[in-house]
Amino acid sequence: MNIEKLVDPIFHRQKCNACGFYTVYQAIPAGDRATDSCTHCGHQVEIAWHPEIKGVFKNTERLLRDMEEILPELKELKNPGDHILLD
Ligand SMILES: [Zn+2]
């Protein structure tokens, strides 16, 4: 029986501090840390991984969804590598 636990990467949208684009970020949990990386420029940050983190991503999603009213381009951030520049 295979009991190896694989955690799926979590994709979430955010503004990347490295490339300045709004991009799709990929969080890969490893224990109590996670590697969060920009799927556009490859910039990586290490973040603390805790049960509430999905709630944090969800809050950001809610914020971005509100922003979609004014910036419909944000809806196009769906797949790894997608990036848009907003000022
Ligand atoms: Zn980036």
This prediction's pTM: 0.86
List, for residues 32-71, the tens digit of each pLDDT value: 999 999 999 999 999 999 888 889 999 999 999 999 999 9
- Cα of 17 vs centre of ligand 1, distance in Å, is 7
Question: Could you write out the three-class secondary structure of 10-72?
Answer: EEEEEECCCCCCEEEEEEEEECCEEEEEECCCCCEEEEECCCCHHHHHHHHHHHHHHHCCCCH
Ligand 1 ion: residues within 5 Å (CB):
16, 18-19, 38, 40-41, 43
pLDDT for 6-33, tens place per residue?
678 999 999 999 999 999 999 999 989 9
